[in-house]
A and B are shown apart, each in its own frame.
Chain A
Amino acid sequence: MGASEFIWTREGVDAEKIKGCKQQGEEEAVEIGRAIRGGDFANAGAGASEIKRVIKKLAITPQIVRRVAVSSFEAEVNVTVYAEEGTIDARVTPSCIYVVVKDRGPGIPDIEQAMQPGWTTATPEVREMGFGAGLGLPNIRSNVDYLKISSEVGEGTVLEFAIMLE
């Protein structure tokens, strides 16, 4: 148990570029941030909607807008469903979009297992709201260029991803 980490980079994506994307550079960046409340299903996905609304106005292709929106939505919903509270923060630079979703919650004991399509610990109440296919994390991976999940059981989870714009 304790702390664990999962890192994945899409084949052909330059790890150096991802580092540059994460760090606060001199280049102009647009930042979007929002708090997430655990159990607040009526607002689940509101942060992702906001991110989508902002980046739609930038010169970003609809395909990339969709990838960012789907990944942000899935990550945000997981905080609503499983954690007590959290935040979603997106940073948009000319070369990439970096999103960090942080929560205080139960953490993920086995991240590899959580990444398996179909694996879910969703309760019947959560399923009644349309969640619990066990496809959220796989969906995120299929839409991003870089994914990192750090989790500590009993403390919380940090999920971050990058989508390159070039």
Chain B
Amino acid sequence: MAVKIRDVVNALGADVLSGEDGLDREIGVVISSDLVSDILCCRDEGAFLITGLAKIQILRAAEVIDLIGICFVRGKEPEREIVAYARQTGFPVITTAKTMYETCGRVYQLGAKSGEYIPPHKRE
């Protein structure tokens, strides 16, 4: 059975900051990084991002590769413009006080698959 963003919210006891209507999106794969260029290496469909970097740049990168949602860890309080931007587009952003390690562990336990990471120089 596919893991949904809602399942992640429940497993983490996470707060939903935006995109309530998108919580039933099915997670294709999960990726985790704080570096924009790393995130942009992802070519999987339906990727969900777990990150410690609560910046607008992350949201723009998300848009570029059509991520289905983002989870901020360590209780990172995102800038107000992030939440406003995400609400505008109905994009699901959730936040948890848990660490990166525990967040990834719990999401892994739900059965969500890992995204494939191939660095750019290994592609040609």
* CB <8 Å contact, A117 and B119: yes
Contact A73 B64, CB 8 Å, known A45-B57, A139-B40:
yes
* CB <8 Å contact, B120 and A45: no
Contact A131 B64, CB 8 Å, known A41-B57, A42-B56, A117-B120:
no
- In the complex, what residues of A have CB within 8 A of residue B120's CB? 117, 135, 138-139, 141-142
Could you tell me the distance between the alpha carbons of A16 and B123 in the complex, rounded to whole angstroms? 25
Of B58, B61, B65, B66, the most chain A CB neighbours within 10 A belong to B61
Does A1 belong to the interface (CB within 8 Å)?
Answer: no
Could you tell me the distance between the alpha carbons of A38 and B124 in the complex, rounded to whole angstroms? 31
- In the complex, what residues of B have CB within 8 A of residue A24's CB? none
Question: Contact check: which of A44, A62, A73, A135 meets B41 at CB < 8 Å?
Answer: A135
Q: Which of B14-22, B29-37, B95-103, B106-114 contacts A (4 or more CB under 8 A)?
A: B29-37
Of A46, A117, A130, the most chain B CB neighbours within 10 A belong to A130
- In the complex, what residues of B have CB within 8 A of residue A52's CB? 63-64
Could you tell me the distance between the alpha carbons of A74 and B58 in the complex, rounded to whole angstroms? 13
Could you tell me the distance between the alpha carbons of A7 and B123 in the complex, rounded to whole angstroms? 18
* CB <8 Å contact, B63 and A117: no
Nearest Cβ distance between residue A122 and chain B, in whole angstroms? 10
- In the complex, what residues of A have CB within 8 A of residue B65's CB? 66, 69-70
- In the complex, what residues of B have CB within 8 A of residue A133's CB? 35-38
* CB <8 Å contact, B60 and A44: yes
* CB <8 Å contact, A69 and B36: no
Nearest Cβ distance between residue A119 and chain B, in whole angstroms? 11
Instruction: Select from chain A the residue with minimum beta-carbon distance to B53.
Output: A130
Does A59 belong to the interface (CB within 8 Å)?
Answer: no
Does A113 belong to the interface (CB within 8 Å)?
Answer: no
* CB <8 Å contact, A141 and B124: yes
* CB <8 Å contact, B66 and A142: no
* CB <8 Å contact, B57 and A138: no
Among B43-72, those with CB < 8 Å from A are: 43, 53, 55-58, 60-61, 63-66
Question: Contact check: which of B61, B81, B124 meets A130 at CB < 8 Å?
Answer: B61
Could you tell me the distance between the alpha carbons of A134 and B37 in the complex, rounded to whole angstroms? 8
Known: A48-B64, A69-B65, A70-B40. 9 other contacts (CB 8 A): A42-B56, A42-B81, A62-B66, A77-B36, A130-B35, A130-B53, A130-B61, A141-B120, A141-B124
